């Protein structure tokens, strides 16, 4: 087996840890990720007692060979995109740690926890106000969007 | 703590027609500028005579006076890449270089460095993300220690290796990340004290997530105070700006000790100074 690059080594470690001790309601598709370390699928369940109780979501993580210096590209995929003020109907998520506030000390696990928390604190299910315009005009890669972050608690 | 979930989220700034294309253009241009910078300036450059600063300010009387003042105390300068990480890179380079000739200081620092990972893990940083950076950091430090205070030849060999490592992103950026984590750890350990330095409604933890832990975020007084306290290293920063007078003002962090690292600050950037 060829020697792993630093980013592959790091992803391998993260994968093992996420499979062994996943946060509640989060499961990673380990087989798929082991085949291709740069593309992961993560299943997420709506937390009981929140607006998303009983719903199931799928997240896709894409990594470059500069990970963890480059943030992962994270989007919701599949049939059920959560209806949330910071999630666009094409699956793009407006979350500062995915771009401006990304740090190499963060991980797939901390991103999952942030998304769970973002969903759980939601008080009203609705799309972002600019959803239809954004979805029509945005780049396929959400990291290419210049996001305007709000410090609100939603 | 680095693993809890709070962070900011919100809507896009693209509520005006066509502004997305505009945004993309701006970002593309910004990336190109950044790339251009990174290709022309090494992460850490060779040592240069202080006179090179005079040439830079040939037609700038205010700065020329200040360079003159600076040259009464310092002989040379080593430039670093202006990528927002320059304080951390300049600090660690200058300090490790200094440790090469000071075995006693090295031994003191080694203990602090060795224990730093446990402090971070106890604060809630996840073991495996911290470990990666810690291991590279310790590898570089241990190599310095092998010949600290040794013969001039051996010291020179290690100095050249050190210079080489600081110019390899795979080492250099790992060191920067680890120092950012130590800085964040110090800020969070002594939150009550550092909260006074933070403007606006942000908590210390939020400030760390947004201004300390991410790469490329510039360093301010608070970063310098925290890092110098965490590592127990005194830093002197000479502040050279357009302010009145012909003197370049010095600030020691912490005050009252003997500085082992000397840095030159010009608005937005740090370089290393040598006496």
User: Chain B contact for A130, CB < 8 A?
Assistant: yes
The CATH class that applies to domain A10-122 reads: alpha beta
Q: Catalytic residues of B, which ones?
A: 83, 86, 269
What torsion do the CA atoms of B55, B58, B60, B63 make, to the nearest 10 degrees?
A: 30
Q: Catalytic residues of A, which ones?
A: 94
pLDDT band at B3 (very low <50, low <70, confident <90, very high): very low
Per cent of chain B over pLDDT 70 is 91
Which residues fall within 8 angstroms of residue A146, CB to CB, at 6 or more apart?
B12, B13, B14, B23, B24, B26, B27
CB contact under 8 A, A134 and B132: no
Given its phi and psi angles, is residue B216 left (phi above 0), alpha (psi -120 to 50 degrees) or beta? left
Beta-bridge partner residues of A75: A60, A92
CB contact under 8 A, B9 and A95: yes
Domain, as residue range, for B263: 42-274
| B107-162: pLDDT as tens digits | 999 999 999 999 999 999 988 889 989 999 999 999 999 999 999 999 999 999 99
Which residues fall within 8 angstroms of residue B181, CB to CB, at 6 or more apart?
A105, B120, B125, B130, B133, B213
CATH number of residue B244's parent domain: 1.20.1300.20
Mean pLDDT over residues B179-191, rounded? 97
CB contact under 8 A, B10 and A145: no
* pLDDT computed for residue B214 by the predictor: 96
| Alpha-carbon gap: A79 to the closest alpha carbon of chain B (Å) | 22
Which structure tokens are listed for B28?
């593309």
pLDDT band at B21 (very low <50, low <70, confident <90, very high): low
On the question of pLDDT at B165 being above 90, the answer is yes
On the question of pLDDT at A118 being above 90, the answer is yes
On the question of pLDDT at B185 being above 50, the answer is yes
Question: E strands of B157-234, at which residues?
Answer: none
CB contact under 8 A, A147 and B26: no
Question: How does A122-131 read in b/e, with b if 16+ C-beta sit within 10 Å?
Answer: beeeebbebb
pLDDT band at B40 (very low <50, low <70, confident <90, very high): confident
* pLDDT computed for residue B10 by the predictor: 55
Q: Which chain A residues contact residue B210 at CB under 8 A?
A: 96, 100-101
Mean pLDDT over residues A121-135, rounded? 93
Q: Which chain A residues contact residue B128 at CB under 8 A?
A: 13-14, 17, 107
Phi, psi of B77 (to 5 degrees): -140, 150
* pLDDT computed for residue B5 by the predictor: 40
Structural domain count of chain B: 1
Per cent of chain B over pLDDT 90 is 75
Domain boundaries, chain A: 10-122
Question: E strands of chain B, at which residues?
Answer: 44-49, 76-80, 235-239, 249-253, 261-266, 269-274
On the question of pLDDT at B64 being above 80, the answer is yes
């Amino acid at each position: 087996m060829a020697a792993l690059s630093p980013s592959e080594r790091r992803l391998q470690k993260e994968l093992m840890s996420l499979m062994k001790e996943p946060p509640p309601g989060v499961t990673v598709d380990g087989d798929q990720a082991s085949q291709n370390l740069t593309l992961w699928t993560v299943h997420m369940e709506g937390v009981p007692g929140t607006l998303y109780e009983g719903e199931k979501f799928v997240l896709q993580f894409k990594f470059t060979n500069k990970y963890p210096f480059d943030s992962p590209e994270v989007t919701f995929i599949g049939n059920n995109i959560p209806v949330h003020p910071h999630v666009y109907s094409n699956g793009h998520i407006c979350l500062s740690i995915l771009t401006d506030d990304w740090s190499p000390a963060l991980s797939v696990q901390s991103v999952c926890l942030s998304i769970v928390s973002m969903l759980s604190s939601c008080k009203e299910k609705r799309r972002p106000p600019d959803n239809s315009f954004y979805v029509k005009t945005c780049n396929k890669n959400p990291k290419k969007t210049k996001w305007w972050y709000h410090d609100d608690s939603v | 703590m680095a693993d809890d979930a709070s962070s900011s989220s919100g809507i896009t700034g693209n509520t005006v027609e066509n502004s997305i294309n505009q945004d993309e253009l701006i970002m593309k241009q910004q990336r190109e500028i950044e790339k251009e910078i990174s290709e022309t300036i090494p992460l850490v450059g060779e040592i240069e005579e202080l006179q090179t600063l005079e040439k830079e300010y040939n037609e700038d009387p205010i700065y020329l006076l200040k360079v003159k003042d600076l040259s009464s105390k310092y002989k040379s300068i080593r430039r670093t890449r202006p990528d927002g990480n320059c304080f951390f890179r300049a600090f660690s380079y200058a300090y490790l270089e200094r440790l090469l000739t000071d075995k006693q200081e090295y031994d003191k620092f080694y203990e602090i460095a060795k224990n730093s990972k446990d402090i971070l893990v106890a604060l809630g940083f996840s073991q495996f993300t911290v470990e990666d950076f810690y291991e590279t950091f310790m590898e570089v430090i241990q190599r310095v220690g092998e010949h600290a205070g040794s013969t001039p030849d051996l010291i020179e060999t290690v100095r050249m290796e050190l210079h080489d490592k600081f110019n390899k992103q795979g080492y250099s950026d790992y060191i920067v990340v680890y120092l950012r984590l130590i800085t964040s750890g110090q800020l969070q350990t002594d939150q009550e004290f550092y909260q006074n330095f933070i403007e606006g409604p942000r908590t210390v933890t939020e400030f760390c997530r947004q201004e300390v832990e991410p790469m490329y975020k510039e360093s301010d007084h608070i970063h310098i105070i925290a890092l110098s306290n965490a590592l127990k290293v005194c830093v002197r920063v000479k502040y050279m700006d357009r302010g009145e007078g012909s003197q370049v003002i010095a600030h020691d962090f912490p005050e009252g000790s003997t500085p082992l690292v000397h840095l030159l600050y010009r608005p937005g950037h740090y370089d290393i100074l040598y006496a």
